[in-house]
Amino acid sequence: MTAETVRTWLDEADRVLVAAGAGLSTAAGYDYGDVERFRELLPALYRLGLRSRYLLGVPLPADMMWGYWAVHIDDIRFGSGPNSLYRRLRALVGERDHWVMTSNVDALFARNGFEADRVFTPQGDYGRLQCTVPCTQETWAAKPFFDRILAAYDRDTGRVTDQAALPVCPHCGADVFPNVRVGPEFVDGAYLPAGDRLARWLGDAPEGARLLVLEIGAGFNTPGVIRRPMENVVRHTPGARLVRVNPDHPDVPADLADRALSVPFGADVLLDALTARPLQQDRK
C-alpha cells in the first residue's frame, strides 16, 4: 500500500520538490562506509587501518590527504557514466514542475538529467576548491587541480610524489580545501542564488497547485539542512504533502497527520515498487 499511496500522491501533484540526503547517494552505489570499495580505491590507507571515506579530522600528511581527496572526489564527483537510480528518479518526476534541494555535494542530480539551475546544494560542491582562510570569496574548478594530483599519485604508498602538485591558494598561499561546508570558513556565495530562486518558486505557486515534497535519505547527521526544513515547507504550504523515504529514520511529525507518509526503506526499493506499474508523467 505504501507504493500505491506514493504513486497516487505523485499523480495528484502539480509540483514536486525532491529533497535528498546522503542516503540517496548510498542507495545509488556511493556508500562512504563501503569498506571493500575503500580498499579497492585507497589500498595504502586501508593498510594503515582506515576503513571508510569519512576521513575529516584524521591526521594524515598533506601528500597523503590530497591523494585521498583526489581519488575520492574523482570517483564520487567526476565519474562520466550515468547512474541508473538517479535516472529512474528523474523519470519518476517526469514533466511536473519541480526543484531539487540536496545536502549531497556530488552533483549526481545535475549529472543525471535534472536541470542544474534548479538544484540547490547548500552544503557546497566537490567540483570547487576554496581558500581555507578564506582570503577571497572566489572559488576554483577542482578538476584541473585533481588531475595534476592524480598524475603524481603513487597508489602503492598513497602519497603524491610531486609537492608542486599540492594545491594552495593562488592569492595568499594558504591551504585550500573542497568548497563544502565544514565550518564558518565555508564560501557559499555561489549557492545562494539557487536558494533564492527555490524560495521564490515555493512562494509563487499558482493558486490551488498541490506540492509534493519527496524527501529521500535525509537522516539526523545534519537535520537542519534537509529534514527539518522540509517538514516546515509542508507545514506552511496549504495542501502540501511529505513523503519521507528512509530505511533508518522514516518517522514523520504527528502534526502533519495524513499529509505525511513514512516510507521505511531505501530509494532503490521504492523505485522498484513504483516501476512495477507506470506512473502518469504527462502532467505539466
Domain ranges of the chain: 2-29+83-122+191-274, 35-79+127-180
Tell me, what amino acid is at 199?
A
* 2-29+83-122+191-274: CATH superfamily: TPP-binding domain (3.40.50.1220)
pLDDT in tens, 31-69: 999 999 999 999 999 999 999 998 877 889 999 999 999
The pLDDT of 274-279, averaged and rounded, is 61
Count Cα atoms within 13 angstroms, Cβ side, for 148.
12
pLDDT in tens, 77-119: 998 789 999 999 999 999 999 999 999 999 999 999 999 999 9
Q: What is the pLDDT of residue 223?
A: 93
- The rounded mean pLDDT for the chain is 94
Residue 176: pLDDT over 70: yes
pLDDT in tens, 231-274: 999 999 999 999 999 999 999 999 999 999 999 999 999 999 98
Dist CA 26 CA 39 (whole Å): 17
Angle 52-37-127 from CA coordinates, rounded to 5°: 75
Dist CA 15 CA 284 (whole Å): 9
